[in-house]
Amino acid sequence: MFIIRNAWRNVIRNKGRNILIAIIVAIIAAAATIGLAIRQAAVTARETGLENTTITAQISFDRSKAISELRESSNSSDSSNSSSDSSSAPDFDAMREAMSDKQLSLSDYETYAKASSAVKSTYYTETASLAATDDFQPVEDSTSSSTSDSSSDSSSNSSSSDNGNSSDNAQQQPDGDMGAGRGGDMGGMTMTSGDFSLVGFSSDEAVSNAANGTFTMSDGEVFGYDSDSDGNVIISKELADFNNLSVGDTFTVENATDDSTTYTLTVVGIYENDTESSNQMGGPMRSTASDPANAIYTSISPLKSLGLDADSTVSSTDSNGNTTETAAAQLSYTYVFASKDDYETFTSDVTKAGLSDDYTVSSADVEQYESSLVPLNNLAQFALTLLWIVLGVGAVVLVVITLFNVRERKYEVGVLTAIGVKKIKVAAQFTFELLVVTMIGLALGAAGGAIASVPVSNQLLAAQVEQQEAQLTSQNAQFGRGMQGPGAAGEATSGNNDSSSADSSNSSDSAANNAPSQPSGNGPRGMMGQAVNYVSSVNATVSLKVVGQLLLIGLGLTLIAALVAVVFVMRYEPLQILADRS
């Protein structure tokens, strides 16, 4: 008890030195509070941002991996044959053959859907290409490119439509869809040729997630999903006006690979796209079929009745006379999950169900959300680095101050030990004094850090977002070449994540005020016009976890500084101290 009373007297007596220590600890605590709050916000944003958000995913053939394995196999076989020419061209036919017939069928997708209870729902679309006829033409603002296509194809096809697009300019798909395989759609864009894209939807959920974006009905009604709706389609208002069609009219289109096969379809509804279609799919990848205005919507049943579904095949002949069989429609199958945990569970379940490692399960929602966290992750890394620097400098400063404090009070140590007080108790007195001052400084710093954590962290995060946007803008300026994806009419703007928010029922350690579920049409765009909505604000408040970490930091600093006091006190000899003083 004597030690505690004496320690408290010294705390009151040496005000100047203890105030200095308290100020140093308060600065350390404030910086540590902001750093810990930022890191906690980043962790919480990652863990809870997609917790209650619907996530979609696809299974696709990993062509990059397949090509790499084929190249490695080819190189190993070449190395075993000393006479082989290392500069010879790759065996393209062998690689194409190895990657053929690798796409999953509709029944395969459905099998994997049943293999996991984590799947909330599924939907899919099938997209076929159609060619124009004399009486039904696609919406387009120029015929120059199509005229050249027609002239080049005239030798292989004697008949072409009046708009100059030869029916041989058909949907000749590679064995794997561009980018993501048949399970993917390259970020919502389905690459088709021909004049029109005939899109069949499996359900209303598939319609609401159409690759061309949302649309509203301006006349008529939406198609049904049973056989009674065979032949019924809805077309865009632009296409209807361009061809002077109204609800109830019929029109005829041709098979994209066989102009002798025609189909008669009935307009049961006219829709309007919610985005301006003239700004979509610009540049060298533009085609009339990929223009949303030329998209003809129906259900899966009509596609099956016409033989244009994904289970059917069409024949196409190249310039060398070789005939190939390809799927009549591109299949895009989507799995829907209630949370990221369910998505991860599904990934594990389909592997157990026998999904080959040649295929991957990917989610654009998860990838886009991870991309949106890049500035926050960078800020968290910066906060961690700053935290270590502050703690290191603070520990050194406290050790030095404690060292001078003990040496100044050397005579006091000699007197106490001379009258019979054990050295360990004297060292405990110095430790208690430092602990009291440290806790006071820690409380003041924590209070200041709690007040400043939100505005400071958001200011730092804004700087990180600005830096990331500037980097992407620079990349787009160098490599983007003006390519635009759906909804890319405007220029790249700052992505303030107002689309959705993290679970608002969370306590004060809820991370993101505005964590995006799916980035929408604003934000800097990547090579293919992919918008990224960065997390631009966080609720970096001080939680109980942060307070606990601050207490540990305070105790750690106290023990480090007190250890110096203990070492010096244990080395002092009381008689020698008194003799030196006299």
Q: Which ranges in 270-373 belong to alpha helices (H)?
A: 300-306, 340-352, 364-372
- Answer yes or no: are the C-beta atoms of 344 and 366 closer than 8 Å: no
- What DSSP assignment string belongs to 420-440? T--HHHHHHHHHHHHHHHHHH
- The two tokens of residue 417 are 């030990």
Q: How far apart are CA 74 and CA 462, in angstroms?
A: 49
> What's the pLDDT tens digit per position in 430-474?
788 888 888 888 888 888 888 877 777 777 777 776 766 776 676
Q: Which two tokens stand for residue 364?
A: 């654009």
Interval 100-149: pLDDT, tens: 667 788 999 999 999 999 999 999 999 999 999 999 999 887 654 443 34
Alpha carbon separation from 562 to 402, 426, 428 (Å, rounded): 7, 11, 8
Task: Spell out the residues 6+ positions from residue 14 whose beta carbon is closer than 8 angstroms to its own.
Answer: 405
Beta bridge partners of 233: 267
Structure tokens at 479: 């490599």
pLDDT of amino acid 478: 59
Closest CA to 185 of 310, 295, 332, 60: 332
Q: What is the pLDDT of residue 76?
A: 67
Spatial CB neighbours of 484, under 8 Å, sequence gap ≥ 6: 279, 280, 281, 282, 283, 525, 529
Mean pLDDT by 10 residues, the chain (582 residues): 73 78 86 82 73 84 80 67 56 71 85 92 92 90 47 37 38 37 39 80 91 88 88 93 94 88 93 68 62 92 89 72 76 90 91 89 84 78 84 84 78 77 79 84 85 74 70 62 43 38 37 39 41 59 77 83 76 68 60
pLDDT given for residue 481 in this prediction: 47
Other CB atoms within 10 A of residue 508 CB: 13
288 contacts 196 by C-beta, under 8 angstroms: yes
**299: β partners:** 201
Q: CB under 8 Å to 96, separation ≥6 — which residues?
A: 175
Distance, CA of 207 to CA of 176 (rounded, Å): 24
Q: How far is CA 238 from CA 168, 208, 243, 403, 464, in A?
A: 25, 20, 9, 83, 43
3-state secondary structure of 264: strand
How is residue 362 written in tokens? Answer: 């990917």
CA angle 319, 324, 327 (to 5 degrees): 130
* pLDDT, position 496: 41
| Structure confidence at residue 38 (pLDDT) | 80
pLDDT of residue 203: 92
How far apart are the C-alpha atoms of 102 and 91, rounded to whole Å?
Answer: 19
